[in-house]
Amino acid sequence: MIVVMDLHSTEEQIKKVEERLEELGFSSHLIRGVEKIVIGAVGGNREAARERLELLPGVEKVVPVMAPYKIVSREYQEHGSIVKVGELSIGGEEIAVIAGPCAVESRETLLSAAQAVARSGARFLRGGAFKPRTSPYSFQGMREEGLEILAWAREKTGLKIVTEVINPQDVELVASYADILQIGARNMQNFALLKEVGRQEKPVLLKRGMSATIEEWLMAAEYIASSGNSNIILCERGIRTFETYTRNTLDVSAVPLVKQLSHLPVLVDPSHSSGNWKLVAPLALAGLAAGADGLMIEVHPNPASALSDGPQSLTPAHFHELMQKLAPLAQLMGRSLRQEALVS
């Protein structure tokens, strides 16, 4: 439920409400908006608490949250969240573009990709150091050495790092290098991992599971938020359907729907959803037109030699061409897209 405080309520009144919520068995989350102050309450006996809370000084009203996902719902927070990543933001006016190879393969390859995407205007560098693969014989990633290479590329280009964590015991290690921790589709319902990333402060990019419903996806986000970290970015990356011509099926409808249900920013991954580099550009444009706050795109200097997901990776030239197409659409949508080079 949500405790709506009077805009002029004092710090002491807010503290009293939080203390009473704790006494009643609730955990509380304070949100200071421009137009109102609200305290989100999770757990406890909602019906028994409502009358007691409404009698406290500074309380305007108590509103039940009907959605099963409480903290990440629009009922809990009406305005869209903006997730801060250092001096950058995801969910604001600027479209966030995350680009780079599927996996960290070497210093030379990663730096080449990072410089290329930065020149075209990307703000974030993706690259997997830990790779959960369908086959145990496929390339599994460079692990901590891969994280060190990502950090080195960040120093060279100024790009923020987005990389995947796949085990709860690796969260602290990955968080010490990454700017954003990614939870991949296969781990969307790895609840131990969700709780662990929720206990640290770095933003979390949560990909939708390939067979997950929208409610299951949002409930996974709720696991992270309820553990203390509300800096969550959702990513639609395609779901499994009966279609065989594409790797997955991009659920474009999920973008506007989730933005109605939740205040969290939503990205689209056209690379994993299609599995075919020729489809990446049209799907990226479709995602942006549907209201996505950003895109996550695989780019490799030489896709034919990539150790992971080469067929869906754009070359730097194709990525630059895509960025040129995205800019006028972003403007039409009332958004902006950085196109000036971050590196020379």
37 and 94 share one domain: no
The strand pairing partners of 126, in sequence order, are 162
- In a shared domain, residues 11 and 122: no
**Quick check: 299 pLDDT over 60?**
yes
Residues 200 and 275 reside in one and the same domain = yes
Q: Which amino acid is it at 183? A: I
Looking at the fold, whether 56 and 87 belong to one and the same domain comes out as no
The predicted structure's pLDDT at residue 42: 81
Q: Are residues 145 and 202 in the same domain?
A: yes
Over residues 221-238, the mean pLDDT reads 95
- Rounded to an integer, the average pLDDT of 235-254 is 96
254 with 313, same domain?
yes
Same domain? For 40 and 144 the reply is: no
Tell me: the pLDDT tens digits for 165-201?
A: 999 999 999 999 999 999 999 999 999 999 999 999 9
Residue in this structure with the two tokens 């490799």, named with its chain if needed? 300
- State the chain's mean pLDDT as an integer: 92
Euclidean distance between CA atoms 12 and 64, whole angstroms: 24
CATH of the domain at 111: 3.20.20.70
Q: What is the DSSP string of 257-271?
A: HHHHHBSS-EEE-HH
For residue 241, give its domain range: 83-332
Residue 33 lies in a domain: yes
pLDDT digits (tens, 9 = 90+) for 121-163: 999 999 999 877 667 766 667 889 999 999 999 999 999 999 9
pLDDT of 139 = 66
Report the distance separating Cα 42 and Cα 31, nearest Å.
14
Rounded distance between C-alpha atoms, residue 65 and residue 52, angstroms: 17
Asked if residue 256 is part of any domain, the answer here is yes
Confidence of residue 341 (pLDDT cuts 50, 70, 90): low
How high is the pLDDT of residue 343?
59
How far is residue 126's CA from residue 11's CA, in Å, rounded to a whole number? 41
Packing angle, helices 316-332 and 277-289, rounded to 10: 20
**Within a domain: 123:** yes
Q: Write the CATH number for 8.
A: 3.30.70.1140
Residues 199 and 318 in one domain: yes
- Same domain for 162 and 203, yes or no, is yes
Distance, CA of 147 to CA of 218 (rounded, Å): 28
pLDDT at 77 over 90: no
CA distances from 234 to 76, 209, 237, 315 (A): 17, 11, 10, 26
Mean pLDDT computed over 307-332 = 95
**pLDDT above 60: residue 61:** yes
Contact status, residue 254 vs residue 238, Cβ threshold 8 Å: no
Does residue 52 lie in a domain region? yes
| Confidence check: pLDDT of 342 > 70 | no
- Tell me which residue has tokens 């995350």: 98
For the residues 104-108, what does the mean pLDDT come to?
94
Q: Residue 337: inside a domain, yes or no?
A: no
Q: Are 31 and 65 in contact (CB under 8 A)?
A: no
Instruction: Among 128-132, 257-261, 307-311, name the one with the lowest average pLDDT.
Output: 128-132
Residues 191 and 260 in one domain: yes
Q: Based on the domain organization, do 234 and 137 belong to the same domain? A: yes
* Residue % of the chain over a pLDDT of 70: 95
Note whether residue 12 is domain-resident: yes
Tell whether 87 and 49 lie within a shared domain: no
Cβ burial, residue 88 (10 Å; 0-12/13-18/19+): middle
Position with higher pLDDT, 152 vs 45: 152
Q: How many domains does the chain have?
A: 2
Report yes or no on 339 lying in a domain.
no
Does residue 251 belong to any structural domain of this protein? yes
Comparison of pLDDT for 339 and 122, the residue scoring more:
122
- 3-class state of residue 283 by DSSP: helix
Asked if residue 241 has pLDDT above 70, the reply is yes
Q: Residue 26 has what pLDDT?
A: 87
